[in-house]
Structure 1
Amino acid sequence: MENKNNEEQTNKIKETLFGLSTGIIQKAINNNVDLKNYRMRREALETLGKCLSMFILYITDGAMEYCENEKRSTILVRDILNSLDDSLFLDIHDELKRQLTIQEETNRTEISKVSENIQAQYPENNELDNNQKEGKPKNKDDDFDILLQALE
């Protein structure tokens, strides 16, 4: 009886682990693979979901080894990239690295645009910052942070 309960709990854990939605998997496939003349059975999608979950666990395990070696408790992007590289998933490693580089450039561009907009809207804040750098006292009327002023 106890063995049956343990088996049921194990099955629930497996279902949770491999519980990726077939809709998400189907959408990812349709967005990246041309399936004009093909259909996928539900069982095939479920199998792909299990494969994906196992792949995630495999790469995460490798990334955790890097964390343990460096005595960290947080997995970083570089740990995942190293795990992909060690596992010889070089195509995935290279594509992910390329996409991360593009994302970082996009983020830098957006941050610089926001910074330029704030400086253009509130040029008096730039003067205040320069005065403070030169050791001049801050105006008592300008107690608000730049971001708070931008919200007004």
Structure 2
Amino acid sequence: MNSISNSFAALSLDSGDPHEDEKQANQSRENRRKMTKKEKKKASASRLNGAEGKKSDNQLDQQALGTSLSMPLVWIDLEMTGLRVEEDRILEIACIITDGRLVKTVEGPDLIISQSEECLARMGEWCQNHHSANGLVKAVQKSRVTEQEAENQ
């Protein structure tokens, strides 16, 4: 990944009307309300019979939404020593930013965070088995990235 000093600068959050998605969705609902029963039935039947051509399910979903879905989505994946937020520690964090159509726009850091042997020993049985089997425990033991350094990235 190319290093971006401010990853969020790549998102273009301030471009265009922030309420555009909502306006388009409202317009789409209004258009559906104006359709006659016969038109609605015909549109539904054509979708069921595959008359939409070779569009993917995603394209059909987007068409049904009637919106551009322009706002970004931030996906954060954490691997932790357990599920207790107050006590357990992060072992690995990854971040991906997509547009509203789920097309990846920015791939953030994937960081493996160093933790003490004591911290790793406190993991529950499931975490110990799972994180050992996939190699995460060894990667954590080798990592030199501290929690503070990860927060600063």
TM-score, shorter chain, exceeding 0.5 = no
Higher relative contact order structure (alpha carbons within 8 Å, sequence separation ≥ 6): 2
What TM-score do you get using the length of structure 2 for normalisation?
0.26
- TM-score normalized by the length of structure 1: 0.26
Larger strand fraction of residues: 2
**Greater share of residues in helix:** 1
